[in-house]
Chain A
Amino acid sequence: DAGITQSPRHKVTETGTPVTLRCHQTENHRYMYWYRQDPGHGLRLIHYSYGVKDTDKGEVSDGYSVSRSKTEDFLLTLESATSSQTSVYFCAISLGTSGSEQYFGPGTRLTVT
């Protein structure tokens, strides 16, 4: 399972509330990613990190922020959740070299009511 955990695994929250999702890895990989997966859209990159305190935006970053203060943790924050952010969120890690695949965490199902 590449040593990736996500918490919480399920969450229901109300519109306008802040939400933080956590991704934790135990294998010291440099690269970490946050994706969302929605029917009809596939996996879309939200933000990624290429080291401690080094992050960048992905395809669908609006409404999301991230932080990486330690190698093992990558946090995704929804400052004010909206119903359009109801989705399944996956964290992934990789070695970052050209041929290296990404390994995915188990996912977090977030429902914003």
Chain B
Amino acid sequence: GQNIDQPTEMTATEGAIVQINCTYQTSGFNGLFWYQQHAGEAPTFLSYNVLDGLEEKGRFSSFLSRSKGYSYLLLKELQMKDSASYLCAVRERGGSQGNLIFGKGTKLSVKP
């Protein structure tokens, strides 16, 4: 079956670093995506990993280990505006069958 797990909630302090973990068990793997979603808004794309290793994009980095079925999103120099839900999603296959399977999201609260 398909299963994507993320912590439900996390709290961190402004200026700090936070790591949001995602583990997955899917029938196939064709890439992992991270999205950010502020309350009442649409998800917005943050990062994409298909090979093992770290992808860095400004204050955000995403890591993937395919053998472990594991990814994390690393947020550095946290700002209050980073308070949002972070969604992990896996694409099982490519082409027209390459739909995304989403985890339930991690709600991050950044405190002063």
Contact = CB atoms under 8 A, between A and B. Distances in A.
Interface of A: 31, 33, 40-45, 48, 50, 56, 58, 90, 96-99, 101-107
Interface of B: 30-31, 33, 41-45, 48, 50, 87, 89, 91, 94-96, 98-100, 102-105
Given A40-B104, A44-B102, A45-B100, A96 B45 contact: no
B88 to A, nearest CB: 9
B87 A42 contact: yes
Contacts of A90: 42-43
A102 B89 CA distance: 11
A107 B105 CA distance: 17
Contact of B103 (A42, A58, A97, A107): A42
Contacts of A48: 99
A96 B31 CA distance: 13
